[in-house]
């Protein structure tokens, strides 16, 4: 990878990209005290499959330009839940129904909120 971003910088970059693409209910959680596999979770919602796809595409494109590639990707736009694994930063992109169903915000309630944008 050409450029190296610290985990917190990467997480804030994802928040910025999601916000620019009009994602809703953006939450950045510090999960270092709650899980061993990541430092930060970024969760947010898109209002349509088209918006979810556009947000994911912009995150992948922008971070790739900065030399950062995901280690792993899961889900599909039509499933309502996409996951981008950047190692220390895990990005969860939801449709509103799936976000409400899985309630990851509550599941990881012991994590410290760093950013919350309604």
Tokens standing for residue 118 = 């309604």
**Hey, which of 5-9, 29-33, 82-86 has the most confident mean pLDDT?**
82-86
pLDDT of residue 1: 38
Grade residue 4 by pLDDT with cuts at 50, 70 and 90: low
* CATH label of the domain that carries residue 111: 3.30.460.10
Helix axes 7-20, 49-65, angle to 10 degrees: 140
pLDDT 10s digits, 18-62: 999 999 999 999 999 888 999 999 999 999 999 999 999 999 999
Tokens standing for residue 54 = 């556009």
Q: Is residue 2 part of a domain?
A: no
CB-count burial class (<10 Å; 0-12, 13-18, 19+) for 1:
exposed
Q: Is residue 1 part of a domain?
A: no
- Phi and psi at 110, nearest 5°, equal -75, -10
């Amino acid at each position: 990878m050409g450029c190296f971003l610290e985990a917190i910088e990467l997480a804030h970059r994802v928040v910025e990209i999601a916000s620019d693409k009009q994602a809703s209910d953006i939450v950045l959680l510090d999960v270092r005290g709650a899980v061993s596999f990541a430092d930060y979770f970024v969760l947010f919602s898109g209002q349509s499959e088209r918006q979810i796809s556009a947000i994911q595409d912009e995150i992948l494109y922008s971070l790739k330009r900065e030399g950062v590639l995901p280690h792993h990707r899961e889900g599909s736009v039509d499933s309502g839940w996409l996951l981008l694994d950047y190692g220390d930063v895990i990005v969860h992109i939801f449709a509103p129904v799936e976000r409400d169903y899985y309630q990851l915000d509550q599941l990881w309630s012991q994590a410290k909120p760093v950013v919350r944008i309604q």
